[in-house]
Chain A
């Protein structure tokens, strides 16, 4: 995990999850790298094509958010082999989100997008948690069953 931050998730949140890999998010190419890594792992572990597409799309949304709205961030992939669960954490040091409920509303956009990204990601992931603080960055945790 990144150094403790006001908006980060820690070991308590991750339970029995084991860190699989970590990436820096800087350019749109990095968003492609992380969603392809997640998709590869899910396919190798027998997830259905629809499950892979839905979760990889959610991953792409939150990774792009960190790059576009926060100037970059870090992305970690965790697995819990026994519970057959994959978890990702996307962490940034950006400005934070003032009104999370509003940001999750379809149609709301702060940056010229369609305003469906964050709410869409929430619908596509089995577990979706967001922590944010003004000036303290934003962390998103999402999980999917394998």
Chain B
């Protein structure tokens, strides 16, 4: 599972694939890299691919909310794609509804939504 979280430009969006074993230090780095890339590439959207995440605890949930918040301030919409059904059930039990996050079932769906903006 070890790997570096990647950021790739897809159409007018940045695709961020978060790894399951991401550490706190890497998350701070990611926030920094992502904000720089959003402003450099003038993207319309950020797509967070969390399909590799076996769990989302309150810490990771907060990170996702923060990444969305940063993107919002830099005028990019955030979509979360690839959430596992068991993760969705667990997040609701934790009381984390992530209201500021838009979700899409797939990357294709997220890109289609962004094209309509």
Interface residues of A (CB under 8 A from B): 27-29, 32, 35-36, 39, 49-50, 52-54, 56-57, 60-61, 64, 106, 113-114, 116-117, 119-120, 123-124
Contacts and interface: CB of A to CB of B under 8 A. Distances in A.
B29 interface: no
A57 B59 CA distance: 10
Top 5 nearest A-B pairs (CB, nearest first) are A53-B86, A120-B94, A60-B57, A28-B24, A57-B55
Interface string B48-65: 000000111111011000
B108 interface: no
Contacts of A124: 90, 93-94
Interface in B61-85: 61-62, 84
B21 A57 contact: no
A121 to B, nearest CB: 9
B96 A60 contact: no
- How would you classify the secondary structure of chain B's contact residues: helix, strand, loop or mixed? loop
Contacts of B96: 114, 116
Contacts of A29: 21, 23
Contacts of B107: none
Nearest to A28: B24
B93 A54 contact: yes
Interface of B: 1, 20-21, 23-24, 54-59, 61-62, 84, 86-87, 89-90, 93-96
A94 to B, nearest CB: 17
Given A53-B89, A57-B90, 13 more contacts: A27-B24, A53-B55, A53-B87, A54-B86, A56-B54, A57-B57, A61-B57, A64-B59, A113-B59, A114-B96, A116-B95, A120-B95, A123-B94
Contacts of B59: 60, 64, 113, 117
A28 B23 contact: yes
A49 B90 CA distance: 11
A123 B62 contact: no
A64 B93 CA distance: 18
